[in-house]
Amino acid sequence: MAQLSETLTVSMENVSTARKSRQDARNEAIRREFVRLHDKKKLRLDVVYQQLADQYYLSQKTIMSITFKWGRYRE
């Protein structure tokens, strides 16, 4: 029984690590896209937030937090 518990713990750690790396990659992609749309294409912030929110199925507030590295999106 203890061995099963240890196996599950190790498996969950791998899942957490994989999830975190996918989220980190997604967040970096969002930041790159934000720079491309706002800084290079000169779109207004509200338009950029709406486009990214629609593209990544996230709220505009979450996109804002990711781009400015607020709260849990700090690295």
If phi over 0 gives left and psi between -120 and 50 gives alpha, with beta otherwise, what is residue 70?
beta
pLDDT number for residue 65: 96
Q: What is the pTM of this model?
A: 0.79
Specify the amino acid at residue 63: I
Could you give the residue ranges of the DSSP H alpha helices within the chain? Answer: 2-34, 45-56, 60-68
pLDDT number for residue 46: 95
Q: With a cut of 60, say whether residue 55 has pLDDT above it.
A: yes
Question: What are the C-alpha distances in Å from 62 to residues 22, 30, 69?
Answer: 16, 11, 10
Mean pLDDT of 13-40: 92
- Residues 64, 49 contacting (CB under 8 angstroms): yes
Percent of the chain with pLDDT strictly greater than 70: 84
Q: With a cut of 80, say whether residue 20 has pLDDT above it.
A: yes
